[in-house]
Structure 1
Amino acid sequence: MTATRTFDHVDTWVFDLDNTLYPHHVNLWQQVDQRIGEFVANWLKVSPDEARKIQKDYYRRYGTTMRGMMTEHGVRADDFLAYVHKIDHSPLEPNPAMGAAIARLPGRKLILTNGSVDHVDAVLARLGIAGHFHGVFDIIAAELTPKPAPETYQKFLALHAVDPMRAAMFEDLARNLVVPHELGMTTVLVAPDGTKEVVREDWELEGRGEPHVDHVTDDLTRFLQRLVKS
């Protein structure tokens, strides 16, 4: 059994956005999820139930529903992103404690997300932590190929000159940590804390015991606070 990777050597901290930098139970992504379903139903002219099946099938097979809709039906990314990210961000509350912990991490802090820069900006503004990040790599920077595609991580590493052997990745989906771990990154899975209902597919909550997951936390703020105090 290999030893669990630590953080002593890390100088680049890479964070997913949705359900990672804010708690799962906020269910902000549920709003996006609903908007995606509406887009699929309207574009394909199918019932909400049929659209839901197509949406989740594409999500699993292509990494994002958008990629499936582009590949299968010629949807333009700009149209899709503009529609699905028109949501109410007010459920998000400022988290100065997490911001302070992120600020104390040694080195650069980057965001790697399958969402758009506009969505990132809105979320970080609500959380009050926008000033702590040195860069964002979104779905446009990924040339519309989402995580967990290996080439997306390679593009991210190259664009931001990240040495994966000196980086850590925080994610809410275990499958998105497979490639980072293979590349040498220390991986952290951010899981629901179990105190409130979360709207997730069963498979999205799997994988916490897999070997590509070095650490698991249900409280990112507390996890980061412990890191910067150690």
Structure 2
Amino acid sequence: MPTRTHTWLFDLDDTLHHAHRHVFPVIDGEMTRWIADRLAVPAEEADWLRRHYWQRYGATLLGLIRHHPDIDPDAFLTAVHPLPRLLAPTHPAAGLKRTLARLPGRKVLYTNGPTYYGEAMLAALGISRHFVRVIGVDALDHLPKPFIRSYRRLCRQLRLQPRRCIMVEDSIANLRTAKRLGMKTVWLRRHRRGHAAADVLLSALHHLPLRRAWQ
């Protein structure tokens, strides 16, 4: 069992809640509309750019920053995270509150979304009290996971030692970087096939806390 000196780094979307059911379709649609409007391109081209930048750079925002330096990253993040639409309805992971309540150690939300979205989603899920900090991409100079500089900035800001951190994610790409830094890693996926970057493979979040993985 982790001691209280451990810090849990939780991803948000498709980790603490099922973002693919509602949040991701809303965000994707807003991204496409924003790109089409700002770059004055047809919706089909805007949708292609959204997916292309995400596949090439790991985040649509990074592609926009690199290829369209005149855009305002924070304006983009605000436009594509319309809180009233994103927060209703919510789809929390099964046993979410009970799982967080019984986990020892500090808990930090580390999301590629903006900080205010992370804070609002935690509040909507009723789990804000379990987290000591929320760190969004806007707090890390708009550098998202899985870039190692993003993790290092996070650790510097919070004075964390990577070897005392446990990262819980649905993305193996993000866990690869965490593992490289010496963090313990938990991969949430339905299938049984594991990966070298995942110390623990879980089919659902409520299977935490874990017994021997952190000894």
Q: Do 1:171 and 1:190's aligned partners in 2 also have CA atoms closer than 8 Å?
A: yes
* Matched AA of 1:32: I
Identical residues among aligned pairs (%):
34
Unaligned 5+ residue runs, structure 2?
none
Task: Give TM-score, length-normalised by structure 1.
Answer: 0.82
Q: Do 2:166 and 2:183's aligned partners in 1 also have CA atoms closer than 8 Å?
A: yes
Shift of 1:94: 6.0
Alignment of 1:68-107 (within 5 A): 68-73=63-68, 74-86=70-82, 87-93=85-91, 97-107=95-105
How far, CA to CA, are the matches of 1:62 and 1:160 in structure 2? 26
Taking only aligned residues, the RMSD between alpha carbons, in angstroms, comes to 2.2
1:134 aligns with 2:132: yes
* Alignment correspondent of 1:211: 196
List per-residue Cα deviations over 1:151-199 (Å, max 9, x = no partner).
Answer: 11001111111111121101121101111001111111222x59xxxxx
SS of equivalent to 1:140: helix
How far, CA to CA, are the matches of 1:150 and 1:95 in structure 2? 27
Structure 1 pair 16–123 and aligned structure 2 pair: CA distance change class (3 A): same
How far, CA to CA, are the matches of 2:163 and 2:137 in structure 1? 24
1:223 aligns with 2:203: no
* Matched AA of 1:219: A
Task: Give TM-score, length-normalised by structure 2.
Answer: 0.87
Alignment of 1:51-200 (within 5 A): 51-73=46-68, 74-86=70-82, 87-93=85-91, 97-191=95-189, 193=190
* Matched AA of 2:201: V
Moved over 3 A (4+): 7-10, 93-97
Tell me the matched-pair count. 207
